[in-house]
Structure formats: C-alpha cells, structure tokens
Amino acid sequence: MLDVWTQETGGSAGGGQAARQLLDARQDLRRALSEADTQAAPAAAAAYTRTAANEIYRQFHRLPNPDLVMYVFPHLAGSDPVPVPGYTTVFPLYQRVQYAMPGERLEDY
C-alpha cells in the first residue's frame, strides 16, 4: 500500500507529480478577468449585500400556496356504521412553505 501511495503522490502528503500536473492544467484553463468583469462584480453582489437599509425588507418572499377546499359528503364510518355529517376541509397544495429568490417574480401567474 505504501508503494502505491509513494508512486501516486511522489511520497509527499501534498501530492507529487500528479498534483503538479493538475495545478498546471488548472493554470492553462484559468482566464484573466476583463475590465468589464471587474466593474460588474460589485453591482452584481450589491443586491445580496447586507446593509441596515435592506435588513428591514424581506429578501425572500413567501410564494403563494393555494388551498384546495374540498367538501366531504355525509357518510357512514367505522366498524359500526356511524353517520358522519358533511363537512369541508382544506388541503394546502404544497406540504412546505416555499420561498422566492431575491428578485424572482412574485405576481400571480
């Protein structure tokens, strides 16, 4: 097992030749940021930055969860047929409360 470890990592915990090859491949794929990218980055992150002004507003609004209102007709229930009067019950469409991402569409579809 030690031989396999030494062969694959070059004998060091930080990797050896395989790690260097991986880092070289990553360097080849890395591209420099353009001027437009560096100027657009703060504007893109501004909506998610916490400030005192935006802490008082909800960023993640609750999405609508329509209720299904159903009527259960009068029926007999149980091993001894006991009459149960008709009633209405409400089922939410989703089991959990869903939240919208910041800036996501909130009006009715």
What was the pLDDT predicted at 38? 81
**All residues at 6 or more sequence positions from 88 whose CB lies less than 8 Å from its CB, including other chains:** 69, 70, 71, 72
How many CB atoms neighbour CB 15 within 10 A? Answer: 14
What was the pLDDT predicted at 12? 60
Q: Which residue has the tokens 């993640």?
A: 60
What was the pLDDT predicted at 51? 74
First to last CA, the chain: 61
pLDDT in tens, the chain (109 residues): 888 877 776 666 555 677 788 888 888 888 888 888 888 777 777 766 777 776 777 778 888 888 999 999 999 999 999 999 999 999 999 889 888 887 787 676 5
- Nearest 5 degrees, angle CA 86-CA 92-CA 98? 175
What was the pLDDT predicted at 108? 63
What was the pLDDT predicted at 75? 95
